[in-house]
Chains A and B, each alone.
Chain A
């Protein structure tokens, strides 16, 4: 199959002939207002326990089924405990850095969010969430790539960037997305002399139109632009301190790209380690340590960007949630719905969105899992439409919303 990416990479007339028309047609009224906007997606791979991340302390079904892993209900003035949000929900105590963002209404929660597909397979569920087509494995491109692809073309190599070793499924497609492990190392390591760099560059600059040469040219464009703006030297601002862990490193670098004004529209970062089948802990323990890095990284990102956050939305996601009851190993198994966060400009924060399905036995999905009341596509499409100004139809083929919009973005 020749995908559109191949044509786009090839440049020249192919671009005009194949990409121009549909992009023009797909442009929406929002597009004009959406320039300079950035969407940052953070994927919690392994299925985060939404009931620990955003604890429903007001639900009587919560504590009883989690004898060793339930959080204590929040109590005023006790920072060791979960932080109450609205009298019903509370943040895990390790997410304390996020509380100020909740209070100033830039951070919102969507609970009982997930996929209409009922798979409990990590890989299938991730695939469905990244392609945006639950239940359909044949989809070749990701929804974030489609989101970029339907926006007006721009001449920067940095429209879509993933921090990581490979391009995630969600950015595969014709967004011209770049993946890199590190801004600092995004160069030819040639010691002090530049002969190797110029040598490689000329090799890929040749007039050949194919994916390799096209990507090579794009790569060196990106390398040059990065060297020029010295993005990797931009220090965190406003006293922000990122945790020295993968997500902190990724968000620090995404902030550098935003501050360097390289034309970033969509960024992506992974955080691993959420598959807590054994010994997940409560206020402390394995999962608390994950939340500590997660919350600190998001808060540092917000602090670092300061006023620039008005153009940025961070959206967190995870392939599914975990069982409501703890298992025989003081952990949780694969479940269904989970909680997702939206942070940044235009987010109507300080609210938990979505209908709470309840934790009563009869209210659970399959008798064991938190039911999904908000299709993840409802949330994702709202963010993409309102924030990036794209049209929903190509983003989520076959999606017919069965619920009213959340209204999570102004």
Chain B
């Protein structure tokens, strides 16, 4: 990777006012978003190069809205213009100062969101293992099974409600940046809602280990996730014990247990240092030894963290060259977290992921270095790192502008928002299913890596068609409990003048950022009789099919970007 500091050139460019013309539709070369050199070949794809030309004015606002939120709603541009961009960013960085009671109100009916784990375990008893065999063998009909074991009584409901809540929050919350960060950190410290007891723990995990620290300090996230039963179960640390440990009681009495490296490895590889963070297999083993005894108390009735000295390996550990003396007990794990959280490799790894989320799939290395510097000087303060990004020339650069491809969930939420839509909890469930069809079932990422933040993985044939089909369904109101406000979007445009409707629509949904070719294609669509419906007496265009036009815009290549 080439490394260049942005220096004064970029700083000068930062302030330069450049009009829309610079973008030149969509054929301009952009580093890192998958575009190949256009004939001019002025800027090839480069990694870590100095940021190029900066964006300004409304495009800065649109850019910030598309990165700090789940996409602009009609009127957001004007609202941010009113308060001023930096004031708006400031508020988003301090979510507690933003009133969000309407969102909380919409979530009231989702009762499992607030349930302690012990209550969830009581409310949703484990399915009888015989049941599955009885159904498969035909001994019991599906109908009988549904009566004896209704869906709303199954633990799966916990994840379904959590999915619905995620959608409702993404669509309606005023604390948009916080929601983006909750998604980001959950994914960073991923657990799979379908694995064993995580079914009962997953809502508590987001509520207790992720959300409170999403805009706090990174080390607190590591600490909270390390202690949480969801993570202890998901990465098997709850079973990890000193060698030759024999289970003293319970159903597995007499069974031997031993070291399990799963959590130790992922803690370093995925949560803190990164795969190239300079740890060895020996470090993995040592960290695993340090965390022995960190387990779950009564996982199927109570489910909270407990340290069991009998399972703990009391010997000395050497982690990344640092000595943890023998006899530390539970504190061994705490010491490891401290060592990892203060490590420069962690700063760089976290900075890289943040810059990838907010700036580009190919994080400019100069910016990564500065964000890592912020991490080190602020003890991993998340808003401070975000501020470093949001105030950087790299963030407001042409290279970054609309360079990210929306993940399926980002696409679904942004589509609803763009159409001025609203959803209740029921609608949230339907929209969560849409996200799944496009490839991102919420809380269902099986591997500890979570879902990728690189666009190219999300772009494939079946998924693109699913995006188009979602656009058609959403715009034509086929999602129950989800309302879209098409009339408001085209208010003021004469419905008998299709071109006027199109102009209004493009202004509302993509804030006029559609390329000229897209506009031309859409204008040509207006000549389709199905789009411009003929009035019954066939006297000419009367009602433009706004829904279909809106669907085309939502399914267009431009709208897949943020």
B244 to chain A, nearest CB (A): 12
Known: A165-B439, A167-B457. A212 touches B462 (CB 8 A): no
Task: Determine whether the beta carbon of A186 is less than 8 Å from that of B557.
Answer: no
C-alpha gap A2/B560 in the complex (Å) = 19
Task: Determine whether the beta carbon of B362 is less than 8 Å from that of A10.
Answer: no
With an 8 A cutoff between CB atoms, is A60 at the interface? no
Task: Determine whether the beta carbon of A215 is less than 8 Å from that of B462.
Answer: no
| Chain B interface, number of residues (Cβ within 8 angstroms) | 66
A162 to chain B, nearest CB (A): 9
Task: Determine whether the beta carbon of B45 is less than 8 Å from that of A212.
Answer: no
With an 8 A cutoff between CB atoms, is B33 at the interface? yes
Selected interface stretch from B34-42, B51-59, B115-123: B34-42
Interface code A158-198, partner B: CB below 8 Å = 1, 0 otherwise? 00000001110000100001111100001111100101101
Interface code B427-450, partner A: CB below 8 Å = 1, 0 otherwise? 000000000110101000011110
Contact-residue size bin, chain A (C-beta under 8 Å from the other chain): 35 or more
- For the A-B complex, the count of residue pairs with Cβ-Cβ distances under 8 Å equals 173
Known: A165-B439, A166-B460. A196 touches B45 (CB 8 A): no
Task: Determine whether the beta carbon of B472 is less than 8 Å from that of A286.
Answer: no
Q: Report the nearest B residue to A15, measured CB to CB.
A: B36
Task: Determine whether the beta carbon of B129 is less than 8 Å from that of A208.
Answer: no
Known: A202-B521, A278-B129. A218 touches B461 (CB 8 A): yes
Interface code A115-129, partner B: CB below 8 Å = 1, 0 otherwise? 000000111001100
With an 8 A cutoff between CB atoms, is A373 at the interface? no
Task: Determine whether the beta carbon of B269 is less than 8 Å from that of A137.
Answer: yes
C-alpha gap A10/B39 in the complex (Å) = 13
Task: Determine whether the beta carbon of B557 is less than 8 Å from that of A1.
Answer: no
With an 8 A cutoff between CB atoms, is A211 at the interface? yes
Q: Which of B262, B436, B469 is within 8 Å of A189, CB to CB?
A: B469
Residues of B within 8 A of A12 (CB): 36
Task: Determine whether the beta carbon of B35 is less than 8 Å from that of A199.
Answer: no
Q: Which of B35, B262, B460, B522 is within 8 Å of A177, CB to CB?
A: B460
C-alpha gap A298/B114 in the complex (Å) = 46
> Which residues from 96 to 135 on chain B have a C-beta closer than 8 Å to any C-beta of chain A?
129, 132-133
Known: A179-B461, A212-B557, A215-B459. A188 touches B521 (CB 8 A): no
Task: Determine whether the beta carbon of B34 is less than 8 Å from that of A210.
Answer: yes
Task: Determine whether the beta carbon of B33 is less than 8 Å from that of A188.
Answer: no
Residues of A within 8 A of B405 (CB): 211-212
| A–B pairs, 9, beta carbons within 8 Å | A7-B36, A12-B36, A165-B439, A165-B463, A203-B556, A203-B557, A206-B521, A215-B460, A219-B465
Residues on A facing B (Cβ under 8 Å): 1-3, 5-7, 9-10, 12, 14, 121-123, 126-127, 137-138, 157, 165-167, 172, 177-181, 186-190, 193, 195-196, 198-200, 202-204, 206-213, 215-216, 218-219, 222-223, 278-279, 281, 284-286, 289, 327-329
Residues on B facing A (Cβ under 8 Å): 25-27, 32-36, 38, 45, 47, 129, 132-133, 136-137, 251-252, 255, 262, 269, 275-276, 361-362, 405, 436-437, 439, 441, 446-449, 455-457, 459-465, 468-469, 472-473, 515, 517-518, 521-522, 524-525, 528, 530-531, 548, 551-552, 555-557, 560-561
Ranked nearest first, the 7 interchain pairs of A and B with the lowest CB-CB distance are A211-B34, A123-B447, A195-B530, A180-B462, A10-B36, A219-B461, A178-B461
Q: A5-B456, A10-B36, A123-B449 are known contacts; what are 14 more A-B pairs with Cβ within 8 Å?
A: A3-B456, A14-B36, A137-B275, A157-B461, A167-B460, A186-B465, A195-B531, A203-B521, A206-B557, A208-B27, A285-B133, A286-B132, A328-B252, A329-B251
